[in-house]
Structure 1
């Protein structure tokens, strides 16, 4: 494959480290794309990494680990990132550090950490103990944090954060009328003001939620039934990431009830809003009013939510409209709200059954009740913390995007999102002289686009393989699945369903998904999950029990299996699949 790209900017050699790559840690040498691949499936842009990820994100993450009692601050290198890694732009999570967390965490082990990230696959060398890893001081500190968490004294103030996020949105100035300096000030003020403490809480909740699910797994261990955990964390209710799906479903019912709206949707999603705005009919006005409210409430959501210029539901309204278009073909009894209630009822009944089975041991029953209460509190809070962070982040990036729009309109950039090719420390110089950045941005854009075409290694242990050995992302799998094959993953949402496969690589391809089909994807994030409502089941190549696809499918009641290696390559459109979301297997019929 060629790793030199000829553009107007000249030769781009992608074998060099990406613009914002940093050396990996020698002290903590094992990294993985597990979990982070669904959040950041493409390389990190320079502005994202220097504003949101990288050192800014590392500081908040380290603070969360230290506050939880798992590490001392001096265990980290102050001059480089270590909890994360960036290899030719692709973000990695440090497994070595997470394993030490498993050593120090009461009741956990490095093997349990590996199980969280890799399922049943042994894809990395076993944990090797190091001096200080098992220091009892950390176990004692974590134990104290867990005690506070059980008592309800964990990260708090989330309802206040909801109000703050709404306030920051309400205070958005007229960005088109703002000066470039005012846009830059808005970007910086939001990131350094309300955003930082909120995203810090989200990092803390990553560990608190792992404590909750770990306690539940321990409490269920005597019953020797591996299906119990996923069934008992389903249908919890109040999960913010599922709420947009309910709103889009309600919009789809407006369409099915209106001949006028149906006719306009039949004419296609492109140009739909413009056509609707020219019509003066009560049902059309109601749809437009409710869609405007949807965009104001959920417009920050979309794919690649931690990036600077992602396709969000505010900036790309065709994305949610395409999902409404798919949902309108579903019968009324496909309403996700009753399915979610049914799943909740099944969970409550299962809790009673488990209590009865544990009733002979007051200690075991008490451990189960404590874990159940903690899961029910922490899991929705974890998603709310992310929603709050993303809403505030969106306000910062809208200011940056307005800068990008202006520079594209002036001819300095080829496209609006070229603003993301600039590092944060370059923004002042960009505003002072945007024309001087044109060749730099063009070169970085060509470089970035080529990196997007590659499939980074899942695991890096020490020195990463040279980028010229990385396969093409769209390279077909050699071993295409055949009838009778059983593909193993992780149980994400209970239930069993059979239907034809539909492999999608982008939520923009929503129109291809037909009622009754099994949605198969490499990764999913919030921009995908309303599509779950239109799918009979979901299969995802990358993911874990607490990944986004798993959390939302459990709220919507959609049978789901995640972590099915190479599923989006091995499975082809039309293959009949049976998805067993309770057992975590996919059978090709």
Structure 2
């Protein structure tokens, strides 16, 4: 059975703890199935979590998230308007050699009835649920410190249910976005304008635009820190892991970047709002260019298709923010529950709660699990030494994390990936593992495994972006296009081949990174 870390590692980066994985595994699996049920692809009998992992959409190997490529391909083969190959390319950033599409029309009559309503209403439903989650987080967080253990557990259960709700809509948005992007790519290719799709998918106005803009406002004393944290405090390093620390809990990473934002005055083209407006203009220019190149019959379709893509790409990022809202409340409830268990003498430290499973925490059975937690913590720390390959079949061969390259890649070395955001930039490679500790000079190239919304503070000072994982619709490329940065994603090993400080050229139009000089 083929598996991949593509894209799913972006949503849930790093190694999960026992609580982190068991909190999300069942809701995620059911969200996939309920989403496909809503489209008419699945029947009622498929709304359960399969016993065997090869029948599940996703799981974890050595604590790291992985997606079941074959399950996604099977579903794509049942859906009109897309293909297994297209979904694999858009979601995971590449298509395995020798793969063959095997589309079936047997569910088309049911899909024809159910899918249009699901798709046409998802935008408003998504906006409504996201607004509810924002308000629920603000209303719930202040009460968590005063809750007893039973109330903390009830809050955790509530957060898990809300996580599943937003994931159902988020996954639907993800699949619709993939289909629309595939149509645009095909239209661009037929018009002989290959590469234009990156410009057509920029300037969409994603959630990260608001984070960047509010960081700029905070740096210029136009809003205060509590207001910023109320709006965006659920972000933070490795935010896709339940045990991570959000900006709400520790705003130090935010404060560390304010100096760079203060250096960008109002009206400067580098300011977030100005960049967003420029990318929206570029998107419109690209749409006009495509209209002139397509046949008269297809010309009226270009505008609506480009606008639909922009709307759904923005919704895709909103969905990620939505499940992080649920995570932030879950983190607070779990940490407070851990403190209660410390008071009872059942744990040594409140953070040890993340090494319990969800069911163990909910059981409130009074069992002293300090020895078990010690074993799981040791296992977690051991797993940090390894990562998964990008794709494999069966049981993965773990790859030891050897740290950053200590020798410069030879001049002339070429690293290829996905041409995700156009433009050419030369700059010093900055290999970043933790955005909270990164140090950038203006114009340096951000090189990393993957990004999540907490990395947006780095994008504003970076000259270009290079990532190991992801495709056109991954987080890093979307934000890069919003800010007009060249981006090459899906290099697989760029962050381990390049040495920090090397001079490189990033060609986001061709999907190529070239080494120009050694580290300095």
TM-score (norm 2): 0.90
Post-superposition shift, 1:247?
0.9
Instruction: Specify the alignment match of 2:318 in structure 1.
Output: 384
Post-superposition shift, 1:330?
5.0
Give the one of 229, 246, 256 matched to 1:322. Answer: 256
**1:322-361 matched pairs, under 5 angstroms:** 322-330=256-264, 333=268, 334-358=270-294, 360-361=295-296
Instruction: Specify the alignment match of 1:247 in structure 2.
Output: 214
Instruction: Specify the alignment match of 2:20 in structure 1.
Output: 48
Post-superposition shift, 1:477?
6.2
Instruction: Specify the alignment match of 2:179 in structure 1.
Output: 211
Comparing 302-311 with 576-585, greater Cα deviation is found at 302-311
Instruction: Specify the alignment match of 1:96 in structure 2.
Output: 70
Tell me how far apart the structure 2 counterparts of residues 366 and 372 of structure 1 sit (CA, whole Å). 11
Please state if 1:85 is matched with 2:85.
no
Q: Tell me, what secondary structure is at the counterpart of 1:350? A: helix
Conservation of the 8 A alpha-carbon contact between 1:485 and 1:588: yes
Please state if 1:571 is matched with 2:507.
no
Q: Tell me, what secondary structure is at the counterpart of 1:534? A: coil
Conservation of the 8 A alpha-carbon contact between 2:219 and 2:261: yes
Conservation of the 8 A alpha-carbon contact between 1:55 and 1:80: no
Structure 2: any 5+ residue segments left out of the alignment?
none
Conservation of the 8 A alpha-carbon contact between 2:404 and 2:495: no
**1:397-546 matched pairs, under 5 angstroms:** 397-407=331-341, 412-429=346-363, 431-433=364-366, 436-465=368-397, 470-475=398-403, 481-510=409-438, 512-546=439-473
Post-superposition shift, 1:74?
4.5
Tell me how far apart the structure 2 counterparts of residues 56 and 138 of structure 1 sit (CA, whole Å). 25
Post-superposition shift, 1:417?
2.7
Post-superposition shift, 1:126?
2.7
Conservation of the 8 A alpha-carbon contact between 2:79 and 2:108: yes
Distance 1:55 1:125, change over 3 A: farther
CA RMSD of aligned residues (A): 2.6
Instruction: Specify the alignment match of 2:513 in structure 1.
Output: 586
Conservation of the 8 A alpha-carbon contact between 1:533 and 1:558: no
Structure having the higher Rg = 1
Instruction: Specify the alignment match of 2:82 in structure 1.
Output: 108
Tell me how far apart the structure 2 counterparts of residues 423 and 180 of structure 1 sit (CA, whole Å). 16
Tell me how far apart the structure 1 counterparts of residues 338 and 415 of structure 2 sit (CA, whole Å). 44
Give the one of 24, 37, 60 matched to 1:66. Answer: 37
Q: Tell me, what secondary structure is at the counterpart of 1:509? A: coil
**Cα deviations by residue, 1:212-241 (Å, 9 ceiling, x for unpaired):** 11121122221122211111000122x112
Conservation of the 8 A alpha-carbon contact between 1:337 and 1:556: no
Distance 1:187 1:107, change over 3 A: closer
The number of equivalent residue pairs is 510
**Cα deviations by residue, 1:128-172 (Å, 9 ceiling, x for unpaired):** 67xxx633123454555665577x344532332233123312322
Tell me how far apart the structure 1 counterparts of residues 260 and 245 of structure 2 sit (CA, whole Å). 19
TM-score (norm 1): 0.80
Comparing 102-111 with 577-586, greater Cα deviation is found at 102-111
Tell me how far apart the structure 2 counterparts of residues 433 and 492 of structure 1 sit (CA, whole Å). 52
Q: Tell me, what secondary structure is at the counterpart of 1:492? A: strand
Give the one of 143, 160, 163 matched to 1:191. Answer: 160
Tell me how far apart the structure 2 counterparts of residues 492 and 174 of structure 1 sit (CA, whole Å). 43
Conservation of the 8 A alpha-carbon contact between 1:308 and 1:400: no
Tell me how far apart the structure 2 counterparts of residues 118 and 179 of structure 1 sit (CA, whole Å). 43
Conservation of the 8 A alpha-carbon contact between 2:11 and 2:240: yes
Post-superposition shift, 1:415?
4.2
Tell me how far apart the structure 1 counterparts of residues 300 and 116 of structure 2 sit (CA, whole Å). 14
Conservation of the 8 A alpha-carbon contact between 1:494 and 1:580: yes
Structure 1: any 5+ residue segments left out of the alignment?
1-28, 255-285
